Every structure is written in C-alpha cells, then in structure tokens.
Structure 1
Amino acid sequence: MNLKELIDTHYNELSKTQKKVAAHVLDHPRQVALKSAQELGAEISVSETTVIRFCYSLNLAGYTELQKVIREQLLNQESSLTSYRQSKVELQQKPHFIMHVMEQDQNMIAETMKAISEKDYDAAVERLSSAKNVYILGLRSSFAAASWLSYAIGLARPDVKLIRPESEDVIQTVSEMDDSTVVIVISFHRYLRETIQIAELAKKQQSFVIGITDSHLAPIRSAADVLFPIYSPNKSTLDATASLFSFMNAIVAGLIVKEKEMFEKRQERYRALDSDFLFTEGAKQP
C-alpha cells in the first residue's frame, strides 16, 4: 500500500491537526524524509506529539517508519501508466483476464462508495438543482469525463457549460461566475496547475466548487466546498474510470430525481423536434 492510499484509508479517523500533517506529508514528501518530527511540527505549527500520533493513526511504528515508507516510495516512484500496465500484466497470468479486470472495477466502485459522504452528496445535488449556472472543468485525462458529465447534467437542467481553456477566454468565463454558480472540477494525478488555478479563481468569485479527485488530500481540496474521492489502488486515472463514471452517474441520477418535472419538460421539448434525419435504425434481426 503506497503512502497516499494509506492516508486515504485512515483519513476519516484523523484529528483536524493530524489532517494538517497528512496534507503536508503528501505535498512535501522529500522534506519529511529529511526532517525530524520536531522540525516537521514546527514547519506546520503543530506539536511533535501530533506528528507522532499521526504516524500511529496510520498503524506505523513511529516517525522513523513514516520516513522509511516515504524514502522507498520516492526511490521506486513510477508513472501512473507504468503502474496501470504492471497491475494488468499480473492479472494476465491468470485465466479469465476480462473477468478479473471487471471484478477489479467492481471492487473499486465498492471502495469509492465507502469514501463518499452522503451529506456532501446531498449538498452537491441540492446546489446543482438551485444554481443559476453550472460549469464543468476537466483537462487532459479528465476531459472525457468532464465532457460526459456536462452532457448528462444538461439533460436535467439548462445553463450547463463545459469549460474549454484551449478555445475560450477563461478569465472572461470566470468573471461571469458568482454565488449562484456551481463549478464541478475533475482533477486526477498528475494534477494540472491550470485546473487548480481556475478552481481557485471560481472560488474567489464565491462560486460553489465541487471537487472530484482521487484523494481527500489532492490539491483541489483547497478550493472545493465539497470533495469526492474516487478510489484507485494506484495513481492511474485509467483504473479510476469505472468508479468515476459510476459516481458521476449517481450525481446525474440524483439531479434528475430532484428535478423530475424540469427533466420531463425538457424531454418533451426535445421529442417535439423533427430530428429523424439525425438518426437511423439498427439492422433488424432476420
């Protein structure tokens, strides 16, 4: 189990000050590997005792073991694609490869369910329902998910926009946001600074920011009003795909149920248009 996964597993058991230590450990692992527990505590304005108790909360023997875990991880750091490939090579050694891959997806969805706060989920759906405008942001590996979510939420309510920094003036877009705006930000390792910066700008505009990421301690946490961690056993966005789309589907389902009348009216208007020229029937069975 890597350090990120270890902290995520025990995150809800940590005190407020221990969570502060956890954030610093993940953001600055090289510093932690070199500093004493006393020096680390002084760096982030907590006591040495808090640092030691943080280690115990992770079921580590102490600060020395934490440093050992960090050093081993830094020495053996791999890209997310390498981690993904290695995990699948291991499965390939077994029969029924497709079954094992899909079982992994099932397990990751189950782990994600455990980490999601229903209170935060309800708050997110409520804000999406009452918002004047909804913006969705996800870049690079997160773009496909952001695009799908923009389309799906657009089925349930109007004024949903996918943010496209490559083809629009993002500053102009953000300037139109206010406290009646909801911004959904999808951010996975490797975390893009542009994504975080846009989210922080939206937050300064008093927008309600929903963060969807791979850890309670991902950088997007600083800008998010509610944060939803999507479980993945390693740093691969590919491995998180099934859990991510399952959670996004739950967001859309909650919104459609809450806005049932609006959804039905939008569907009626859609069906009223003569759009047969856009579609074709599949081949009929003989």
Structure 2
Amino acid sequence: MRLIQIKFSRLSKGQKLIAEYILNNYDKAAFMTAAKLGASVGVSESTVVRFAIELGFNGYPTLQKALQELIKNKLTTVQRLELSNEYISEENALKGVLKADIDNIRATLEKINHKTFEDVVNSIFKAKKIYIIGLRSSSALSEFLGFYLNIILDNVRVVSSGMSDVFEQMINLNEDDLVIGIGFPRYAMKTINILSFAKSRNAKVVAITDSLLSPLASKADYTLIAQSNMASFVDSLVAPLSIINALIVAVGMHEKDKISDTFNTLEGIWKKYQVYSSEKDLYEER
C-alpha cells in the first residue's frame, strides 16, 4: 500500500484510477482478476497489467499475491463473509471450496521443506516432553495431533484454554522440551505469547503455520509451511491437517513395533467396553 502511495504521482490517469480503487478497496481487489479489476474502474485488462509492472512486479498475479499476503491477517470475519458472498454462491460453494482446498494442498507440496520436516520428526524423539498448542480454530488441529501422538508416545501434552491458564500448564517447561505451536490467520495472540515464553525457557519450538512471515515462524526453530488461503469466512485447514497427518505417520514409522502392541491392547479394550459399534450391532439394528 505504501508502494502505491510513493509511486502515485508517476502513474498514468488510468493507473491512478486502479491505485485509488486498491487503496480504498484492498480487501476486494486482492481477489479480483486483472480483467475484473479493470472493469471495476473502467480501464482495460492490459492497463492493470502495466500498473503492476510500473509498481515493480513482474505481472499482475505477483501483485495480487502480495495484496493477499498483506491483508489475510487484517480481514475481520465480517469482511471475510462479504468476500465469500461475492465470490462463492450457494450454487458453487461445494466446487469453489473443494477447488480452493486442492490448490492449498498443491501449493503446500511445492513449498514444504523436506529437510525441515525430517528435523521436526527428529526433534519429537529427542524431546523429554512435548507440548502442543493451537487455539481457536487451530484447536482442532492441536487436538488431532495430540490424540495420535499420545497413542505413539508417552510424553505428549495438549495445552488448551481450560480451567488453568496455558502458562500454568507449561510452568515446568525447560530446554529439554519441545513446543509445537499451530496457528493461521487470524493468528491467536496467546499462541504467539506461548512461543515467546518457550524461547525464553530455551525449549525447542516448531511452528505449523502459513508463511515464514507468520508471527509464529519468527519464534520457531523449525517452521512447517501449510497454505491456508481461505475460500470463505471459514479457515481452510485441509493442508495443515495433511502436514499433521504426515508428521503422525512419520513418527509412527519409527515406532512400528510399539504401535502394533499398543493397538492390539486397545482393540481388546475397545471390544470389551464397546467403544465402537460392531458388525453384529449393525446387523441387529436392521
């Protein structure tokens, strides 16, 4: 936004119209095609492309991506809802959301650093105790990761907002421990504060977040990037969940024999206490 203001006086008349529109409607402009942006201000698509190049970008898609990065942590839920109403209708909700999630997974696969992923897996095994924190919409991710790691390992604790404060749940945190922080726009402030606390205790920190520019990443020793571009007011957590699934599987591969024994024991418990419905139960219901 600052770049547009600096270069405004050098822009052509048509480009100034684009600049004014973006400055006043950046939340909408970030998700418009070049053609749609041009139509909204009364200029051609080529003028929009030249505007992006004049600002120093190599094309309009790069400018659009920069705008999306700029605003995704600034949008309120109300603004997200307005955007979803404009770009996704009841008729195309299913297709629109699924396509966006496919794009997020594809982008995550391209961005993920395999060496970092391996380092995170190694850190999990080196840690004396593992704390997992993900608040608000990310709490579903932290609970899922904690549920499965608890089956594989015996030193995992999911930190949550409950009767005790999150800091009280981590009072004994030290340099032998690992903290896994999960957060996506809009980032929960308490998660960021917890990672700062972890660093002050010299614990290892892993962030599962959407960008190296994320406030969680700035506190982390290792960052796993999972794209979470929203298609609506609801956070897209498909790619983050895929990363977490991969972590669980990778940890499990190291502990095959232990997992086999654990699940054999669990199957006996589940059957005895009827945790899951059986084929016989389903047949009797019919």
Shared fold (TM-score greater than 0.5)? yes
- d(CA) in 2 for partners of 1:104 and 1:133? 36
| Aligned-pair CA distance for 1:151 | 0.5
- d(CA) in 1 for partners of 2:228 and 2:220? 20
Say which of 273, 276, 279 aligns to 2:276.
Answer: 279
Stretch deviating more after TM superposition (276-285 or 224-233): 276-285
TM-score (norm 1): 0.66
Are the aligned partners of 1:136 and 1:163 in contact in 2 as well (CA < 8 Å)? yes
- 2:140 partner letter: A
TM-score (norm 2): 0.66
Q: What's the counterpart of residue 102 of structure 1? A: 98
Say yes or no: does 1:189 pair with 2:188: no
- d(CA) in 2 for partners of 1:173 and 1:98? 40
Stretch deviating more after TM superposition (269-278 or 191-200): 269-278
Q: What's the counterpart of residue 136 of structure 1? A: 132
- d(CA) in 1 for partners of 2:230 and 2:258? 40
Q: What's the counterpart of residue 115 of structure 1? A: 111
Say which of 245, 249, 265 aligns to 1:269.
Answer: 265
- Structure 1 counterpart SS, 2:141: helix
Cα shift readout 1:33-56 (whole Å, capped 9, x = no counterpart): xxxxxxxxxxxxxxxxxxxxxx99
Identity, % of aligned pairs? 24
Length, aligned pairs only: 223
| Aligned-pair CA distance for 1:261 | 2.1
| Aligned-pair CA distance for 1:211 | 0.4
Are the aligned partners of 2:212 and 2:218 in contact in 1 as well (CA < 8 Å)? no
Name which structure has the greater RCO, CA cutoff 8 Å, separation 6+: 1
Say which of 206, 213, 219 aligns to 1:217.
Answer: 213
Report 1:54-203 matches (<5 A): 59-60=56-57, 78-80=75-77, 82-83=79-80, 86-87=83-84, 89-92=86-89, 97-203=93-199
Q: What's the counterpart of residue 17 of structure 1? A: none
- Structure 1 counterpart SS, 2:240: helix
- d(CA) in 2 for partners of 1:78 and 1:132? 39
Report 1:244-263 matches (<5 A): 244-263=240-259
Cα shift readout 1:75-131 (whole Å, capped 9, x = no counterpart): xx6425633663465343866x42342122111101011111101100001111232
Are the aligned partners of 2:181 and 2:206 in contact in 1 as well (CA < 8 Å)? yes
- d(CA) in 2 for partners of 1:255 and 1:237? 33
- Structure 1 counterpart SS, 2:174: coil
Say which of 210, 233, 236 aligns to 1:240.
Answer: 236
| Aligned-pair CA distance for 1:59 | 4.8
Judged with a 3 Å threshold, the aligned counterparts in structure 2 of structure 1 residues 235 and 185 are, in CA distance, closer, same or farther, namely: farther
- 1:156 partner letter: I
> Over aligned residues, Cα RMSD in angstroms?
3.4
- 2:275 partner letter: L
Judged with a 3 Å threshold, the aligned counterparts in structure 2 of structure 1 residues 267 and 143 are, in CA distance, closer, same or farther, namely: same
Unaligned 5+ runs, structure 1: 4-54
Are the aligned partners of 2:84 and 2:233 in contact in 1 as well (CA < 8 Å)? no
Judged with a 3 Å threshold, the aligned counterparts in structure 2 of structure 1 residues 234 and 270 are, in CA distance, closer, same or farther, namely: closer
Judged with a 3 Å threshold, the aligned counterparts in structure 2 of structure 1 residues 234 and 86 are, in CA distance, closer, same or farther, namely: same
- d(CA) in 1 for partners of 2:102 and 2:195? 31
